Each structure stands twice: as C-alpha cells, then as structure tokens.
Chains A and B, each alone.
Chain A
Amino acid sequence: MSVISEPVETAAATVIAKPRRSLAWLGILPFLIFALLFLILPTLNIVIGAFQNPAGEFTLANIQKLFHPSILASYWISIKVSVASALLGCLIGFAIAAAIVLGGLPAWIRSPIMTFSGVASNFAGVPLAFAFLATLGRLGLVTVLLREGFGINIYAHGFNILSFWGLTLTYLFFQIPLMILIITPALDGLKREWREAAAILGANGFQYWTMVALPILWPALLGTFALLFANAFGAVATAYALTGSSLSIVPIVLFAQIRGDVLQDPHLGYALAFGMIVVTIIANTIYLWMRARSERWVKS
C-alpha cells in the first residue's frame, strides 16, 4: 500500500513548493525515489557486485571469468543471433515499409499493416515460441506440409527450430514489425521533390536510392539496427520457452545461474549481467546518436 500512496505525497510536495524558489523539484521526488529504488540502485547493485568477491572486496576476477571459453561462446552466439535477427529484420522490414510508402500499393493497405505491426512487435515471449514450435517444429504445419506435399524434409536437411537459425527466424516475428513501425515515418519524411529533382537530373531508380535516399536514411537505418540488436540481445522468455537451456545464449545462462540450476559462483552471475548491460548500452548509444543525426534531415 505504501506504493499506492505516493501520489498523495506528490500533492503534499506541491503544496510545500508554493513558496517558490528551488523547492519545485520536490514535485518529482516520488518519481525519483521510485526510479532509484526499483531501477537505478538494483542495476548499480549488480554492476558493483561484478567487481566484488564474496567477502565484498574489490576484484577483477569475476570479469576475468567472462573470458572463459564457454562464457565467451555464449556471448558470441547471443551476439550472432542478435546481429542476424536485427540485420534481417532491418532488411525485410525496410522492404515492406518501402513497399507500403513508395511502392504504389493501394492506400488502404497501410493502416492494417501498421496495426498488425503494433500487435506483432509486442507478441514476444512464451506464446511466440509456441507459435513457431507449432509451425516449424517436427510436427508443425509447415514442416508437415513441406514433407507430405513437396517431399522436402527440412529436418533431414539439418534445419532445427531449436537452433541458431530457428531462434533467429522466431525473433524476426517481432523484429520485422518493430522495424516497420520505426522506419515508416522516416520514409514518409523523404520528400517527393527529392525524387523528382533526381529524375529531372537524369537519375534512374537505382541511382536515386544509392545517391539520395539511402545516404539520408542511413543514420535512421543504423540506429534502428542497434535498437533491434538490443531488443534481441535482452530477450529471455522466447528463447527459454523455445529451446529450454539447450541453446546457451547469455540471457539463458544468466537465467539458469540466478535460478541456481548451475550455481557454482554467484559473482559470475553479476559479471554476466554486467556484460549484458555493457553490450546493450553500446547498442543504445549508437541508436541515440544516430537518431539525433537522422532527425536533422527527416523532418515532416
């Protein structure tokens, strides 16, 4: 109940703030305390834990353990899945968004696609894993159709839903819509005049794209790529429900570590989490930086 009473404190704080001068910040104190208690301090706690030994003394030993081959392999496969799903998500999402905005398709098509993208980009987690198991699992609809209809047994050809490509294919279900949602406004920002000017100067479609449109969209594309990367890198539920712990990507190793399934060293867990924060912070810094750059050009 203490949590729910916070806004009353806001009100109390605002009354105190009336005498003006420097007390106005008290109005956002409940928010700041909440953020501190449930977001910032817990994260700092993990970061500090990564540099401590069980006795609480400073050490770099935990960080060193991250360079153990099995841990490095986890980071590597995590990064591979995230890069592959972000790259493919960007490419396919871009193609679909370009088709809607510039492809001369009927105008009514746009609204349902945007709505569906809003739904699908939020359809991550356990149910998404079930959907792909039911479709591309050993008894899934597509697997069976391909085997009985076309005589192609994808599992005999080395495909497995519980693998790198299976996971990437599944992540694309929320990556592509996210790309569509973010890049469509940027494509809308491409002015018609630019294309016409290019055409008047004798540019063909290919030249327009490589010399005008893509250089303008580049920061937006790269920025969205970074966002999709972070999005895939931090995802746990989909991978866990899909593969159990057979594919040891970092979030799953960390999940198992916290659960105590493989608890040899709790401080290794802090280091693993710290590594995740570092990777997502790098990805998001790129995103924010690129977004700031792209906003200079793409204004409606």
Chain B
Amino acid sequence: MSFWRSNRFWAWIALSFGILYFALPLIGTFEFSLRMKRGEYSFEAYRVILGDPRFQATFLYSVMMALLTIVVGVLLVVPTAYWVRLKLPRWRPVVEFITLLPLIIPAIVIVFGYIRMYNTSSVLPLTGSAFGTDILMVCGYTVLALPYMYRAVDTGLRTLDVTTLTEAAESLGANKVTILAKIILPNVLVAILSGAFLTFAIVIGEFVFAALLNRPAFGPFMQLIGANRAYEPAALAVIAFSITWLCMGLMQLVTRLQKHTQVKQFR
C-alpha cells in the first residue's frame, strides 16, 4: 500500500527535522565554546571558567542548596504520601492538587510573595539575614520540586501494599517512625532517587529565586557571565547541559535497576 510507504517517508522527514533542530544548537554551542583563542580550537574558555573562584563558590552553593532541597523534599513528601495512602485516601485529591500548584503559579510570583511576606518588617523576617534567606531558598526550591517529587514517590508507593506492610510491621512491634525509615523508605528508594536527580537538575541552574532573593547561586552567576563575556557562556551552557544529561541518565539507570529487582522479587 502506498499509504504505508508514504507514511514512512514523512516519518523520516519529521525525525530528520527534529534531529537537525536539536543537534544544531548543541553543536553550535560546543563549537562556539572552543573559539576563545583566535585561529584555533581550544578549551581555553573552560579553563578560564573552571578556574574562576566565583564559579567554584556559586556552583558549590547551588549544589548545597540542591542537596538540602532533596533532603527537605524527601522528609516532607515521603511521610505525607505514605500517610495519605494509609489513612487519608479522601484527602488525596487535595494533596495532589497542592503538589501541582507550583506548575500553575509562575515561580516569579511565588518568590515575589516571599519577598512581601518575609521582609524585615514582617513577623517572620527571613529575608533579613543570609541564613534566613537560605532557608527561604530551600523552601522555595522544595516547592518547585514538589510536583516531581510527590508524583515519583506516590508512583513508587503504588507498587507496594502499604496497609499490609504497615500492619505486619506493627504486629512485630514497630512504631511509625521505624516503619517509615526501615520499610517504606527502602522500598521507594528508587522512586526517591529519580525524583532527587530531577530536583538536582532543576535547582542547580535555577535563576529567578536566587536572583530576586539576592543569593550567590550558580544561575545568577551564569547570567552575569552571559552579560559580560563572549565565549565563557557557551562553555557554561555545555557544562550545564552535561549536568542535566548526567542527572537524567542516572534517573533512567535507577529506574532500570528497579525493574530488575522487581523481576527478581517475583521469581
């Protein structure tokens, strides 16, 4: 049938167009990042940017923020998702709706709200000190990561029989903290990890929160370099893309590992 053949022809056209559109900016960026020395390709831009003390400081700061966000996110989401599944199924739509709100309300609006609510003349003047602002940043990033974290953990919990596991543990004398730490957490670890990698990828280059709360994070540093330099931004883009790629790769790997263990369990 000519219909099927023409189908395949159009499929290749669509795919080639896609590959061209997505490959060109990546190739273009990489090529541009090598052009710093005149007349030859070199890794000079990478050497300059990696050697910049501000790069090291802001990158480290954002890594710390990302790790703290993951910890707070896990401590907040895992008990909540567990408890909703175990005891409060009727609250589920409410909790799910709240976790989806960060996708609806633009981040810039949320941070604007923080600045207004936690300013120095408020009841809780978090923006008054660097430490307080850092707490606010971690909370804000936890909010941004909430949709992904909650969905990942909730999907992980779906494969478990939460009620039976809890009752079995309780009959052996475990309290709720023990159950969460020793039974639920290990069982949804893969889901948590995949949520964690995504959170890391989001937080590491985040710009709006850090810029408006005035903290020395990696996102505003990249923007500053972009406004003032020619070749270093391209090098930064390559580095940032590699980090995103690494996080997603690890996420895939972890999910695949989970499938393996599940198969083993059923045997």
Contacts and interface: CB of A to CB of B under 8 A. Distances in A.
Interface of A: 3-4, 6-8, 10-11, 14-15, 17, 24-25, 27-28, 30-32, 34-35, 37-46, 49, 92, 95-96, 98-100, 102-105, 109, 113, 115-116, 118-120, 122-123, 125-136, 139-142, 172-173, 176, 204-205, 230, 233-234, 236-237, 240-241, 244, 251, 254-255, 258-259, 269-270, 273, 276-277, 280-281, 284
B27 to A, nearest CB: 7
Contacts of B234: 130-131, 133-134
Contacts of A244: 227
Given A3-B72, A35-B98, A240-B207, 13 more contacts: A4-B72, A25-B88, A25-B91, A38-B114, A39-B101, A45-B113, A98-B11, A98-B14, A105-B11, A105-B12, A125-B207, A126-B226, A234-B108
Contacts of B188: none
Contact of A240 (B11, B25, B223): B223
Nearest to B198: A122
A276 B106 contact: yes
A173 to B, nearest CB: 7
Interface stretch (B36-44, B153-161, B235-243, B258-266): B235-243
A234 B223 contact: no
Contact of A269 (B3, B112, B177, B222): B112
A134 B225 CA distance: 14
A158 to B, nearest CB: 20
A34 B3 contact: no
Interface in B135-152: 135, 138-140, 142-143, 146
A92 B110 CA distance: 32
Interface string B106-119: 11111111111100
Contact of A43 (B109, B206, B252): B109
Given A99-B15, A105-B11, A141-B28, A126 B22 contact: no
